[in-house]
Structure 1
Amino acid sequence: MTYVDGFVAAVPAANKEIYRKHAAEAATFFREFGATRIVEAWGDEVPEGKVTDFKGAVQAKPDEVIVFAWVEYPSKQIRDAVNEKMMNDPRLKEMGSEMPFDGKRMIYGGFATIIDENSGGKPGYVDGSLIPVPVGNKDAYRETAVKFATVLKECGATRASDSWGDDVPDGKVTDCRRAVKATNDETVVYSFVEWPSKQIRDEGWKKVMADPRMRPDSLPFDGKRMIHGGFTPILDA
């Protein structure tokens, strides 16, 4: 089963190019060790929420931008092997001492893909989300996600992917569970939608929101605690 490591970080706006170069260098190692894809997306439309939001999730400062990123692997076994190699490679240890952002506030986790509706092609824009879902609602969530993915693709999206929290550690400062105020009986879903461009995304969402299939009687999760935002890819390796 495809496996995803998902990351959310707060990066000083002035460090955008430095961050992109740093991410590109790290991506060469991920690919060398077995990852199939690395995406880094720069915050463009990241709204403030009443209960939760991306900025609060990583304690972003006024001069910082949210980065939504993920690494894809063919399986969890390969992901674990890649991470071990990354941790032990002296080249990466040297890079880690020069990160252009505060790694202590980054949130991350490992997620097992439960749906991936993919038409192919690299995105020009990405919608990213973290969602708290009761563990017992996994099948109901998957069913809802498949229905939503169908509508999204009809309205212009090229890919809709949802991955179930599998290895989501607690952090000392921030973490994915605190980001969405997850309860003990909930896990975190890492979700993203790829679009050809921001224009198509904006036009597509108008159609999506008008579609009656996107207004179910009930959702298998608490939408008020879901965090979301729009991001522009700066690296797709």
Structure 2
Amino acid sequence: GGPRGGVARSVKKMRGYLAELIHKKRQALPDEAAPGEDLISGLIRASDHGEHLTENEAAAMAFILLFAGFETTVNLIGNGTYALLTHPEQRRALQTSLAAGEEGLLATAVEELLRYDGPVELATWRFATEPLTIGGRHIAAGDPVLVVLAAADRDPERFADPDTLDLARRDNQHLGYGHGIHYCLGAPLARLEGQTALATLLTRLPDLQLGAEPAELRWRGGLIMRGLRTLPVEFTPAG
């Protein structure tokens, strides 16, 4: 039992659900004259016309797409909205920029929201290939190393005033999308989704306010993903 056992059971159930869903969609997949429009049908078609994926392999791919391509962006938008609602001066500056038809601040704002309170706290596990010392701590070859992206993005040796939300920050090489060969393939899409969602929200609901005290909000458990369970808001309906 324990927390790890619960996670393992949840992962197994999710993989089972996705494998069953893929099996059903493969059985019901329409012919090429009327192809299915959903993502999983597209994954099946690409697999069946190329290097064939087993249903377990296709389920693993769908699992990655769900968490890497959906959960992260959801939490970018949620965390970003929360940060804007709790920093009214920064939020007003962004709304003024949007009203003037300017896009420069929107672009830097999404990068800053990723740095300030990004959707991914930890990178996947790394293992030292040789002995090394980091921050005065000895790490033996083969030891696991957990890279805390959230801490790196608040590093005072890298960022001026790291705990300050500055939507106009220019020197902002954060690690929200990873680094090097592990850099996120979906970064351009995530940027576009974040910019579109936040711009639309602030433009259509200009009086949006937090609907609960910050201390009342609850964050999701776990060490990898950083996101709110819910984000209550209040606004005046249009019309």
Same-fold status (TM-score > 0.5): no
Larger strand percent: 1
| TM-score when normalising by structure 1 | 0.22
| TM-score when normalising by structure 2 | 0.22
Structure of greater relative contact order (alpha carbons < 8 Å, 6+ residues apart): 1
Larger helix percent: 2
Larger Rg: 2
